[in-house]
């Protein structure tokens, strides 16, 4: 850990942050209310807004300027969220994978409390929410392989290979999880954070195939192979899950490793082409509809090379 901190302080490559502005499509409440069912909007990092059954769901909401316990230091956002917390429509549920600062933000949760009906969390994370002031009747805590039903949607907390902790003194005191969402015949997988492990195949055998996997692809490094996946492993996890469409997340918003900020997109796209996997890379705020899927644009090329604007992702 000391070596990692030293490298981060004194040997951080310059290209871990964008040279230009990350494109963001601003969203309004009216647009969201008019959006089709089975729409997914990337808001940044692992924060996604899903419209399912006419209701809205948020994963790992972080609207803070920094993924940090303090807002004067720590990883700073590359871009602003496509919509403010105040402008969001009522939220049926917030889905939490674990308690790290880039996935669980204290102020964001408190601001969401009044407009959110349910908080789904792994064991222990719900206790943290209640301590922060979230009414206990709004919180549901699940162990791995446990299920619950909210708003006509089945949710299952499934295994992940990661860790938890918000201070030096609470290491692994709460659980971490991936999540399965079952809406009629449609199935969606949200990875949270995880290293590659055999659990993906078990989840695929139990709940797959999946119409969409929201798969961690970013903040990886050879120094922490057990808690974050290299792009090759992200793609294999998608295949293990029997996924149809892959949407890479955990990238494009915060500088959390030593790779170029755009490298996760470059690598996962090339791998998907090679393996004939359907992949989508929507811009922040851009809708991806599960019933009318599209591949999107290689928008990250525009950030570093403006002449490459609107580069479509070719079908393979």
pLDDT in tens, the chain (316 residues): 555 554 555 557 789 999 999 999 999 999 999 999 999 999 999 999 999 999 999 999 999 999 998 888 889 999 999 999 999 999 999 999 999 999 999 999 999 999 999 999 999 999 999 999 999 999 999 999 999 999 999 999 999 999 999 998 889 999 999 999 999 999 999 999 999 999 999 999 999 999 999 999 999 999 899 999 999 999 999 999 999 999 999 999 999 999 999 999 999 999 999 999 999 999 999 999 999 999 988 999 999 877 655 666 654 4
* Residue of 218, 229, 239, 142 whose CA lies nearest to 181: 142
Q: Which residue has the tokens 């403006």?
A: 306
Handedness of CA 23, 105, 197, 201 (dihedral sign): negative
Q: Domains of the chain by range and CATH?
A: 32-308 (3.60.15.10)
Q: Name the pTM for this structure.
A: 0.94
Task: Return the SS3 of 2.
Answer: helix
For residue 13, the number of C-alpha atoms closer than 13 Å in the C-beta half-sphere is: 14
89's enclosing H/E stretch is: none
- Please give the Cα distance from 291 to 211 (Å, whole number): 9
* Residue of 30, 24, 69 whose CA lies nearest to 47: 24
Cα(first)–Cα(last) distance of the chain, in Å? 41
* Residue of 24, 58, 25 whose CA lies nearest to 252: 24
Q: What is the pLDDT of residue 14?
A: 81
Q: What is the pLDDT of residue 315?
A: 44
For residue 216, give both structure tokens. 């961690």
Handedness of CA 256, 257, 260, 264 (dihedral sign): negative
């Amino acid at each position: 850990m000391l070596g990692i901190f030293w490298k981060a302080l004194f040997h951080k490559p310059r290209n871990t942050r964008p040279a230009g502005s990350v494109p963001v499509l601003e969203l309004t409440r009216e647009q969201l209310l008019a959006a089709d069912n089975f729409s997914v909007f990337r808001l940044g990092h692992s924060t996604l807004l899903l419209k399912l059954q006419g209701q809205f769901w948020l994963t790992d909401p972080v609207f803070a300027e920094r993924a940090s316990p303090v807002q004067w230091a720590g990883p700073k956002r590359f871009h602003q969220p496509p919509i403010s917390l105040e402008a969001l429509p009522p939220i049926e549920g917030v889905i939490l994978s674990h308690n790290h600062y880039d996935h669980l933000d204290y102020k964001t949760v408190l601001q969401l409390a009044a407009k959110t009906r349910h908080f789904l969390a792994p064991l222990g994370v719900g206790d943290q929410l209640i301590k922060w002031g979230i009414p206990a009747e709004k919180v549901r805590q699940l162990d791995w392989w446990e299920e619950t039903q909210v708003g006509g949607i089945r949710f299952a907390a499934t295994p992940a290979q990661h860790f938890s902790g918000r201070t030096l003194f609470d290491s692994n005191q709460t659980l971490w999880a991936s999540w399965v969402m079952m809406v009629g015949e449609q199935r969606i997988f949200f990875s949270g954070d995880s290293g590659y492990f055999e659990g993906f195949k078990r989840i695929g055998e139990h709940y797959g195939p999946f119409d969409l996997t929201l798969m961690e692809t970013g903040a990886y490094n050879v120094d922490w192979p057990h808690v974050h996946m290299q792009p090759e492993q992200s793609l294999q996890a998608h295949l293990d899950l029997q996924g149809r469409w892959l949407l890479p997340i955990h990238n494009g918003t915060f500088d959390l490793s030593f790779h170029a900020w755009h490298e996760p997109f470059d690598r996962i796209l090339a791998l998907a082409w090679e393996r004939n996997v359907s992949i989508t890379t929507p811009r922040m705020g851009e809708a991806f509809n599960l019933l009318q899927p599209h591949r999107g644009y290689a928008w990250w090329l525009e950030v570093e090379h403006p002449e490459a604007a609107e580069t479509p992702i070719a079908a393979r």
